[in-house]
Amino acid sequence: MAEITAAMVKDLRERTGAGMMDCKRALGESGGEMEAAIDWLRKKGLSAAAKKAGRVAAEGLVGVTSAPGRAAMVEVNAETDFVARNDRFQAFVAAVAKVALDVGDDVAVITAAPFPGGGHSVGEELTQLVATIGENIAIRRAKRFVLPEGVVASYVHNAVRPGLGKIGVLVAISGGSEIDALETLGRQIGMHVAAARPEALEISGVDPAALEREKAVLAEQARASGKVEPIIAKMVEGRIRKYYEEVVLLEQVWVHDGESRVREIVRKSGATLGGFTRFALGEGIARAEGDFAAEVAAAAGLTS
């Protein structure tokens, strides 16, 4: 059986909101597998926040830049929020976004590319920045959309300056509308994506593994209530429709009016959505909190 550490219990507790001892038991029942432990807690009704597995857990900035028919977005992480307010760090993130706009979203290619106006590579500039600021800094991820016949709209939430913030969204959109109208709609969709956190553009794009996990959890919940299998199947089918409304962009309720579906808004505009990407700063990165882990270890008798 896998060793259950204090850090594992802490991570599961943060991701699900379940009690410490419930988290310990869930990890034990699932052989230390984190995703299986989340499912175990949900099946037992002990997790009220299992869908919050991607909580912000690192500092830095998301940077966005655009040009006609294309846009790019990057996430650059640092150890403290103090660094995110540093002018040189902000300038670095903005420059890296511009590099991604030119060379694409492969981080290795971005790192090897020339740094704008520097006479050296992005990686070398990063090394100098780390030495100057004194914190670990990393280019975590990037995304570029190129859409010559349409618009790649962008939205930045909690912007510290234009194009830099905590959440960034790119939306590829095309159709019969004028460019200005597409830009406006794309930005509105970007605001919706920032708030509603969709995981897929349409139902066919839902991760099959995630869908099967959801069905298994829903079925187990129905069985726990004493329902027979034919009723369970119907309950799962109905709840999966609700699941799609939660995670599929085109099936979600439009946040700007609280009534329409996103697909209706897009259809009425005559536009077509080609895709979207949402970066939330630090999403999925575990924050080191040694004191809390020690507290868990002391209370639960775990090794750290």
pLDDT of residue 302: 55
pLDDT of residue 292: 43
pLDDT of residue 80: 84
Angle of the 208-224 helix axis to the 34-43 helix axis, nearest 10: 30
pLDDT of residue 301: 56
Residue count of the chain? 304
pLDDT of residue 1: 55
Q: Which domains does the chain have, with CATH numbers?
A: 1-56+284-304 (1.10.8.10), 59-175 (3.30.479.20)
**Nearest in space to 59 (alpha carbons), one of 295, 288, 301, 226:** 288
Angle of the 34-43 helix axis to the 6-16 helix axis, nearest 10: 50
Q: What is the DSSP string of 68-110?
A: TTEEEEEEEEES-HHHHT-HHHHHHHHHHHHHHHHH-S-HHHH
pLDDT of residue 293: 47
pLDDT of residue 37: 87
Please tell me the distance from the alpha carbon of residue 55 to that of residue 62, in angstroms, as a whole number: 15
For the chain, 304 residues long, give each residue's pLDDT as a single digit of tens. Answer: 578 898 898 888 777 767 777 888 889 999 999 888 888 887 776 654 444 333 333 799 999 999 999 999 999 998 888 889 999 999 999 999 999 999 999 999 999 999 998 788 999 998 888 878 877 888 999 999 999 888 999 999 989 999 999 999 999 999 866 888 899 999 999 999 999 999 999 999 999 998 998 888 888 888 887 777 888 888 888 889 889 999 999 999 999 999 999 999 999 999 999 999 999 998 877 665 544 445 445 544 555 4
pLDDT of residue 204: 92
Q: Which amino acid is at 88?
A: R
pLDDT of residue 231: 85
pLDDT tens digit string along 217-226? Answer: 888 888 887 7
Please tell me the distance from the alpha carbon of residue 7 to that of residue 289, in angstroms, as a whole number: 9
pLDDT of residue 35: 85
DSSP state of 46: -
Please tell me the distance from the alpha carbon of residue 198 to that of residue 253, in angstroms, as a whole number: 11
Tokens 């200005």 — which residue?
Answer: 180
pLDDT of residue 90: 97
Count of beta carbons in the 10 Å neighbourhood of residue 15: 25
Please tell me the distance from the alpha carbon of residue 113 to that of residue 102, in angstroms, as a whole number: 10
pLDDT tens digit string along 234-274? Answer: 888 888 988 999 999 999 999 999 999 999 999 999 999 99
CA 33 to chain centre: 21
